[in-house]
Structure 1
Amino acid sequence: MSPSPGRVVGIAVGALAILAVGVYGPAMLLGPLPEVAVRIDQASAAAPEPAAVALPEDGASAVALVDEEGEAELVASAADEEAAPIGGAAKLVTALVTVDSLPLEADSDGPAIRIAAADYSSYLAYQREGSRVLQVSPGESWTERDVLRAVLLASSNNHADTLAAWAFGSVDNYVREANAWLEEHGFEQVRVADATGLSGENVGTAGELTRLAAMVLADPTLGPMFEGDEGPLAADQRRIPDVIAHLDGDDIRAMSRSYTDEAALSFVFTSTITVADEARRMVGAMTGVDDYETLDPAVLAAVESMQAASEPVEIIAAGAVYGEVESAWGDRARLVASTGRTDAAFGAAADDASVDVEPFTTASAGRQVGTVTVRLGARDVSSALELDGAIRDPGPIWRLTHPGLLIDAFLAGNA
């Protein structure tokens, strides 16, 4: 006897009910939950305002810190995109290239350099045109160290030519070797046309001049000439006038100071600032400045603002709220920086905070769920983010009444 239609319907409904209880229920109660939604607090993520480094509007300028390897870490620059005449700062190249080719032993003054008729004629010619010179006489002998001191401290143009011709055979040979040396050492803008800097074709940027200054200070032969560490002069050492000295009463050591029609005032200097209770060497360069009434306040402001900019800035505040997470069932918790972070910004522009939260569905209060990171110049400053409240499981009633969200979460987890 065949079952009646009503019985068939009843059996089907009963089977569906059993399937619903046996499959739907466990699937909803045990299935994955949807991940929390993240909302970033844009106000808290806004970049902090570090102290600015003051640089002049006239000419081009740059300041840098000297690191432990003796290399310049550029901190700030102004109007320094294109190469411009650098004046007597070209003598820093003359000295560096010479000692790289003909290094001096620490306890030696080097070979004797005889002053020839051409050297004397060079001295007379520069003297007539009013350029810086240091007197020489035919037949004299100068040591390599003394000639280097004359080039750097007396900014002597005749000694720069003498040094270049002695070391490389001629000034033209020196120019070729010097530009090859600059390329080899990664200088993209600094190029020389003579040993003195008098030509307007000696060009570079202030930023790359700070690199040269740091290299000079790091050199075991040249650095002590600016540090006062040479000790008492030996009886046979010449007394070289320090004509480039400027602002030394303000603890600023001039490394090059010159004026030419093409370059105007060019000034390369070094000073010391305190960073986190540690003395740090800084270097600076300014080119194309019209007069000392402009230069001197600009140099002092640059050094003072470097010191101010070295003070730690609160980049990330402990307990700062960087956003919020919210579950599909309504639980909320704030994203809180677990640790504060400070750093010396040195005027570097900070980016807005970047918040990265790991995907999750439930979590206890205090759990670290991501990081907040601020890009500061070339450095990243980060702190962990934790929840200030719990995101709990919503319970069976919510699960059973929101199948669509649970199915979407299941599919997303298996995609």
Structure 2
Amino acid sequence: MTTQQDSPDELTELAELMSDEREFSPRRTPKIRRARRRRGLMITAIVTAVVLAVVGGYSGWALTAPIAAPVESSHEPAIPTTTAAALPLPQADASAISVSGADPYLGATADEIWTSSGTDEPLPLASITKLITALVILDARPLANATDPGPTITFSKADHDLYDKYYVMGATIAEMPTGSAMSQHDALSTMLIPSASNYAEAVSTWAFGSQWAFLGATREWLAAHGLTGTTIVEPTGISPLNTSTARDLITIGKLAAAEPTIARIVATPSLGLPGPGAMSNTNVLLGSGGITGLKTGNLGAGRYNLLYSASLDVGAAEPLGVIGVVLGASSRESVNRDVLTLLDGVRAGFHEVPLAERGQRLGSYTTPWGSSAEMVVSERASIFTWSDTPITVTMKTATPAAYEDGEVIGTVTWTAGPHTATADIEIQGSIAAPTAWWRLTHPSELGTP
């Protein structure tokens, strides 16, 4: 089978026929029709090819062209506000408090004098004197440990007569029969727990041979410890000439708390011994508010004193050690109330501050094609701090790898004093890829192919 093709002559003839309408004849009409049909098919094929090429090229570009990364919008979490600790100092002529184990929170000088009120002039000590007497005695006649009874003291007629001497003076006393005997430890206990003045003089005389020798040793002991603001003229505190400053007494309190025998005795609420009988500690605060000692003093209205120690569990790694003093308060009740209020304020000042909750929103990721995801805190966070210590916050994020739910993309860190708290930042939700239709219909949102 052969296919008829137009020769050049035939095409020329067709052109001439088309240009001269008068020469058309029925015989030539089929040739003209075939020529027109072929020309139309050629044009259609060319246009179709061009369109397909253009559409195919655009589609390929649109479906593979790069797109902009999701837009991040973020903010640091709000810094919580904290309230300053309430620390009402005792109403007295003088007071001071030292706190150990809290330097990172309270400052480098907290272990010396953290806060104080009133005068630093010497004031009457009253029976706090007996704590100094015990320290001087143990410096000269040390005991092996806190439970060591030590040597036996036998009381003479002169010792027994001290009972009457101090009874007449209105001082606290305890029975001391002539010829009775007691260990050094128990004698010190009777001097400190019920604050028996006759025992203070008897034991200090026994330790040094005379009151003159005791007072000489006391002056040397005070000088050796740099206690230049303290004066002792007798061993009991009944004389108002026994004086000290709040600053010196903080040092004396630390020395007493560090001496095992004294620390054990002053923490004893009550005691019963042959001779003196049943005795109660004059420091009724023992066991309240963390109080562990040390010694009361009383010279009458307006001259109530307390040198105290306390152990405060505030949630830190270790309990805080407190030494405090109050001099010249109006009553024993006011001393006790004010000290407990102060310690409660210190304790309450240490607290956990909530920082963020799990799922707390920190920002978002958005896209032109409508897909979005949240930037959230991955876990609850809080920080341990003191009072209104300033809290700072920093946030670091990185470009997500997949924009998938649960992907960790950074951290947020809070700092307060010596402590830091950190929580991860993660994506909540996932960014879906744009559809093919969106790509094809949003060329202006696509990158350069």
| TM-score normalized with structure 2 length | 0.55
Give the 5 Å matches for 1:97-176: 97-106=136-145, 108-176=148-216
1:65 alignment partner in structure 2 = 99
Residue 37 of structure 1: aligned partner: none
Which residue number corresponds to residue 243 of structure 1? 281
- Coordinate RMSD, CA, aligned: 3.2
Kindly indicate whether residue 56 of structure 2 is the aligned counterpart of residue 56 of structure 1.
Answer: no
Deviations 1:234-258 (A, max 9, x none): x989756123131336243442122
Q: Distance in 2 between matches of 1:185 and 1:263?
A: 29
Tell me by how many angstroms 1:316 deviates: 4.7
CA distance 1:52–1:207, change in 2 (3 Å): farther
Larger mean CA deviation between 89-98 and 102-111 belongs to 102-111
How many residues in Structure 1 have an aligned counterpart in Structure 2? 278
User: For 1:190, which of 196, 210, 230 is the aligned residue?
Assistant: 230
Query: Contact 1:72–1:214 (CA<8 Å) still a contact in 2?
Result: no
Give 3-state SS (helix, strand or coil) of 1:199's partner. Answer: coil
Moved more, 113-122 or 157-166: 113-122
Matching residue of 1:256: 295
Q: Which residue of 2 aligns with 1:31?
A: none
Q: Once the 2 structures are TM-superposed, how far is the Cα of residue 165 of structure 1 from its aligned partner?
A: 0.6
Are residue 82 (structure 1) and residue 121 (structure 2) matched? Answer: yes
Shift of 1:308: 2.6
Residue of structure 2 aligned with 1:94, choices 133, 150, 159? 133
**AA of the residue aligned to 1:90:** T
**Bigger Rg over Cα:** 2
Gaps of 5+ in 1: 1-47, 321-337, 345-380, 382-415
Structure 2 distance, partners of 1:241, 1:192, is: 26
Amino acid at match of 1:94: T
Contact 2:150 2:184 in 1 (8 A): yes
> Partner of 1:124: helix, strand, or coil?
helix
Same amino acid, percent of matched pairs = 24
Q: What is the CA–CA distance in structure 2 between the aligned matches of 1:83 and 1:339, rounded to whole Å?
A: 49
Q: Does 1:271 align with 2:332?
A: no
Over 3 Å counting, the alpha-carbon distance change for 1:206 and 1:220 in structure 2 is same
Could you list the runs of 5+ residues in structure 2 that have no partner in the other structure? 1-81, 103-109, 352-384, 395-411, 420-449
The answer to which of 208-217 and 83-92 deviates more is: 208-217
Q: Deviations over 1:86-123 (max 9, x none)?
A: 11111110011111111012253111112112211111
Q: Note closer, same or farther for the CA distance 1:309–1:205 as it changes in structure 2 (3 Å cut).
A: farther
Task: Write out per-residue CA displacement over residues 244-286 of structure 1, whole angstroms, 9 at most, x where no aligned residue.
Answer: 1313362434421221149711112222212415322312211
* Deviations, residues 372-397 of structure 1 (Å, cap 9, x unaligned): xxxxxxxxx9xxxxxxxxxxxxxxxx
Contact 2:267 2:286 in 1 (8 A): no
Corresponding residue number in structure 2 for 1:212: 252
C-alpha spacing 1:225/1:339, structure 2 compared with 1 (3 Å): same
Distance 1:247 1:227 in 2: 10
* Residue-by-residue CA offset, 1:111-140 (whole Å, 9 max, x unaligned): 111211221111111112321001111111
Q: Residues 96 and 117 of structure 2 are in contact (CA less than 8 Å); yes or no, is this contact kept in structure 1? A: yes
Rate the CA distance shift 1:341–1:181 in 2: closer, same or farther, 3 A: farther
| Distance verdict in 2 for CA 1:118–1:79, change over 3 Å | same
Residue 65 of structure 1 aligns with an amino acid whose one-letter code is V
Partner of 1:402: none
CA deviation string 1:275-327 (max 9, x = no partner): 4153223122111112134223211111111213344246454358xxxxxxx
Q: Distance in 1 between matches of 2:86 and 2:112?
A: 16
- CA deviation digits over 1:120-162, x for unaligned, max 9? 1111111123210011111111211111101111111000001
Shift of 1:340: 5.1
- 8 Å CA contact retained: 1:63, 1:76: yes
C-alpha spacing 1:152/1:310, structure 2 compared with 1 (3 Å): farther
The TM-score with structure 1 as length reference comes to 0.60
Residues 54 and 301, structure 1, Cα contact 8 Å, conserved in 2: yes
Equivalents in 1 of 2:203, 2:231: separation in Å?
A: 18
Alpha-carbon distance in structure 1 between the residues aligned to 2:333 and 2:261 = 34
Question: Contact between 1:64 and 1:210, CA under 8 Å: does it hold in 2?
Answer: yes
Counterparts in 2 of 1:53 and 1:285: CA distance versus 1, 3 Å:
same
Corresponding residue to 2:417 among 343, 349, 353: 343
Whether contact under 8 Å (2:176, 2:276) holds in the other structure is: no
Asked if 2 retains the 8 angstrom alpha-carbon contact of 1:56 and 1:298, the reply is yes
Residues 1:96 and 1:240: Cα distance change in structure 2 (over 3 Å): farther
Q: Please give the alpha-carbon distance, in whole angstroms, between the structure 2 residues aligned to 1:100 and 1:262.
A: 34
CA contact (8 A) 2:230 2:245 kept: yes
Q: Which residue of 1 aligns with 2:43?
A: none
CA contact (8 A) 1:244 1:254 kept: no
Letter in 2 for 1:202: N
C-alpha deviation, 1:201, in angstroms: 1.1
Higher RCO by CA contacts (8 Å cutoff, separation 6 or greater): 1
Output the amino acid matched with 1:88. S
